[in-house]
Amino acid sequence: MTDGSYDAKDIQVLGGLSAVRKRPAMYIGSTGLRGLHHIVEEAVDNSIDEALAGFCTQIDITIHKNGFITVTDNGRGIPVDIHPKFNITALEVVMTKLHAGGKFDKKIYKVSGGLHGVGISCTNALSKSLIVEVKRNSTLYRQEYSQGQPVTGLQEVGQATGTGTSISFLPDNEIFQDTVFHYDTLSSRFRELAFLNKGVKITLKDERTGNEDIFKYDGGIIEFVEYLNRNKTTLHKPIYFFKEKEGLSIEIALQYNDGYQENVFSFANNINTVEGGTHLSGFKTALTRTLNSYAERMKLKDVKLTSEDVREGLTSVLSVKIAEPQFEGQTKTKLGNSDVKGIVDSIVSSTLSAFLEENPSIARVVVEKSINAANAREAARKAREMTRRKTALSTGLLPGKLADCSVRDPAKAEIYLVEGDSAGGSCKMGRNKEFQAILPLRGKILNVEKARLHKIFENEEISTLITAIGCGIGDEFDVSRIRYHKVILTCDADTDGNHITTLLLTLFYRFMNEVIKRGYLYIAMPPLYKITKGKILRYAQTDAEKESILKEIGSDVVIQRYKGLGEMNPEQLWQTTMDPAVRTLKQVTIEDAVKADEIFTLLMGDQVEPRKKFIEEHALEVTSLDI
């Protein structure tokens, strides 16, 4: 807890704002949807920082019909007195100066997510219009901005009860490719923030649709873990502890389920450290050592558990709060503070060891789960060796089914994973052999959501696919060995084709996740219709596109509905699906890891009731039914 004083003198400035509009991606990551939602998060982060400091209990976000979005909190309110250095209000300093805020002085914010002070000034700079209202000193203050510049001075517009800040802004369409906010994207992030800041109430309302959510979790990350595991069969109640040591606060909740997937999320000052870092390394090291030590003392095993063994079926949330975090990595979402690893390791080791001693029944369940994983790992090793002896793996040769390309630079090479031998044959004849490889897949592959590695290695189609792509799987996975920087899933546009695509996506998401993160995975979009009228030939990928073409050329046409890729000859496949100049590819990305895990568990896991409920809720949204 900090002291309650918060005035103009507490606002420090490290630079100006002029570069933000010139190079927005440097500050918010992109000018696409990711950047659009990031500027909302920056405004909300200011409110969260007030909550971390103990002065804010409620944050309300409203998406308006006119394109504006409003973020309101009941914190102390941004200071409005005159800044001693700049001779303008502290509010204007915060809104117009880059690297300005109360985050640099640890008397004001002990910890914060917005550590560089660029947040709300970036939001302001990239908004066509922004209105800020502050409640302080029993007065309501208001000021308007446009593209980062003040349009009005600070105005006293009435009396106010309580304190707080409200910011309404309209993203600038000169900057952003799309200015339409996505409710689901925002709700996922705000749910996450509510879990991480227990007791803080976050509301999200969409005036466009009437959607509304209220997020408030008094159980914090315990409820987060239960939420993540809600469609899984859990083995025990969540294990939770909170400790403070050497200026670091660490909060951990973990719970095992009977599945085979690891689901560990780490955060530093509410920032999702998707690339991990020193806090996650300390946790993993301590978890492995502690479970090994307990198993040895109890004489429960005669094999050494690896880090992968003890994380099979683990769902965990690790949240640290630190005064001076150092972020690194490609997306600045990897914690780099070297001292954090040892502190987390020490806390987890001592606390978890004590818990296991005091809860022997849970300890036994967890250790036996890890031992089963170790046995499965050994079975997978034997299955892998057996596969190598039976196939070309041991000689380094590629599968005979693969029609490889001639180029050897992965950045220039692409592979089509094609449903069926017939379509695969057409693709082989229609491709550009220089940079396009073809691998036909026969039938539906194994659902890896319900399988351990040894079962995967026993599946011929998956083994062939893994060999062709080149980066391995499991503990041998190395994305730098990938042979193609475009891996293109190419399936029929029917129920079976969609199912096969989903099975393949499950394989990549669960066992070759880095392929998706690097942007190497795509889905081909072959046409649904061929439309001919005289010498006119057009293709349509959707019903809407078909109707548009019919309006353009007339409705007295011959329309052919493609049921599968095999109905197209090689020339048509090249013209519609494989020619880089005209084809449409969907790039597979992971926008929200929590949501992605939830969907894969729901659709591909072994819990029937949640899947049935999902189907019932979304049945009316089906646009094409294959009967």
Q: What pLDDT sits at residue 303?
A: 78
Do residues 511 and 548 lie in contact, with contact meaning Cβ atoms separated by under 8 Å?
A: no
> Kind and range of the H or E element at 531?
strand 529-533
Residue 417 three-state SS = strand
Name the active-site residue from 10, 81, 262, 494.
Answer: 494
Regarding whether 329 and 180 lie in a shared domain, the answer is no
Do residues 381 and 271 lie in contact, with contact meaning Cβ atoms separated by under 8 Å?
A: no
Which phi and psi angles does 602 have, rounded to 5°?
-65, -50
Dump pLDDT digits (tens) for 564-574.
Answer: 788 888 999 99
Token output for 521: 């995975």
Regarding whether 534 and 519 lie in a shared domain, the answer is no
DSSP letter, residue 83: P
Closest CA to 20 of 131, 178, 175, 179: 175
For the question of residue 419 being annotated catalytic, the response is yes
CATH number, domain of 79, equals 3.30.565.10
| Residue 615 included in any domain | no
Regarding whether 513 and 541 lie in a shared domain, the answer is no
> Kind and range of the H or E element at 605?
none
Say how many C-beta atoms besides its own lie within 10 A of residue 535's C-beta.
Answer: 5
Q: What pLDDT sits at residue 3?
A: 64
What span, in angstroms and rounded, lies between the C-alpha atoms of 417 and 403? 11
Domains: count for the chain: 4
| The domain boundary residue, chosen from 215, 238, 266 | 215
- For 290, 471, 504, the CA distances from 398, given in Å and listed in that order, are 42, 13, 20
Regarding whether 174 and 109 lie in a shared domain, the answer is yes
Token output for 121: 């000034």
Beta strands in 314-364 (DSSP E): 314-321, 327-328, 334-335
For the question of residue 496 being annotated catalytic, the response is yes
Do residues 123 and 131 lie in contact, with contact meaning Cβ atoms separated by under 8 Å?
A: no
Name the active-site residue from 172, 419, 461, 598.
Answer: 419
Regarding whether 150 and 43 lie in a shared domain, the answer is yes
DSSP letter, residue 452: -
Regarding whether 128 and 15 lie in a shared domain, the answer is yes
For the question of residue 345 being annotated catalytic, the response is no
Q: What pLDDT sits at residue 225?
A: 97
Do residues 413 and 437 lie in contact, with contact meaning Cβ atoms separated by under 8 Å?
A: yes
Token output for 124: 């302001």
Regarding whether 339 and 316 lie in a shared domain, the answer is yes
Regarding whether 439 and 552 lie in a shared domain, the answer is no
| Torsional sign, CA 74, 78, 80, 81 | positive
Residue 362, domain extent: 221-378
| Residue 469 included in any domain | yes
| The domain boundary residue, chosen from 192, 215, 238 | 215
Say how many C-beta atoms besides its own lie within 10 A of residue 146's C-beta.
Answer: 14
Regarding whether 147 and 135 lie in a shared domain, the answer is yes
Name the active-site residue from 45, 206, 492, 597.
Answer: 492
| The domain boundary residue, chosen from 351, 378, 405 | 378
Closest CA to 442 of 375, 521, 503: 503
| Residue 619 included in any domain | no
| Residue 610 included in any domain | no
Burial of 587 (0-12, 13-18, 19+ CB in 10 A): exposed
Do residues 466 and 384 lie in contact, with contact meaning Cβ atoms separated by under 8 Å?
A: no
Name the active-site residue from 496, 514, 545, 606.
Answer: 496
What span, in angstroms and rounded, lies between the C-alpha atoms of 474 and 377? 9
What span, in angstroms and rounded, lies between the C-alpha atoms of 505 and 362? 34
| Residue 126 included in any domain | yes
Which residues partner with 558 through β-bridges? 532
Which of the residues in the chain have pLDDT under 70? 1-3, 11-17, 99-118, 329-331, 387-397, 622-627
Backbone region of residue 404 per phi and psi (left: phi > 0; alpha: psi in -120 to 50; beta: other values): beta
Burial of 62 (0-12, 13-18, 19+ CB in 10 A): middle
| Residue 601 included in any domain | no
What span, in angstroms and rounded, lies between the C-alpha atoms of 272 and 313? 21
CATH number, domain of 430, equals 3.40.50.670
pTM: 0.80
Regarding whether 302 and 374 lie in a shared domain, the answer is yes
CATH number, domain of 291, equals 3.30.230.10
Q: What pLDDT sits at residue 108?
A: 47
Regarding whether 261 and 183 lie in a shared domain, the answer is no
What span, in angstroms and rounded, lies between the C-alpha atoms of 436 and 459? 25
Do residues 88 and 76 lie in contact, with contact meaning Cβ atoms separated by under 8 Å?
A: no
Closest CA to 310 of 376, 234, 374, 263: 374
| Residue 617 included in any domain | no
| Residue 573 included in any domain | no
Do residues 512 and 548 lie in contact, with contact meaning Cβ atoms separated by under 8 Å?
A: no
Token output for 42: 């920056």
For the question of residue 626 being annotated catalytic, the response is no
Regarding whether 113 and 20 lie in a shared domain, the answer is yes
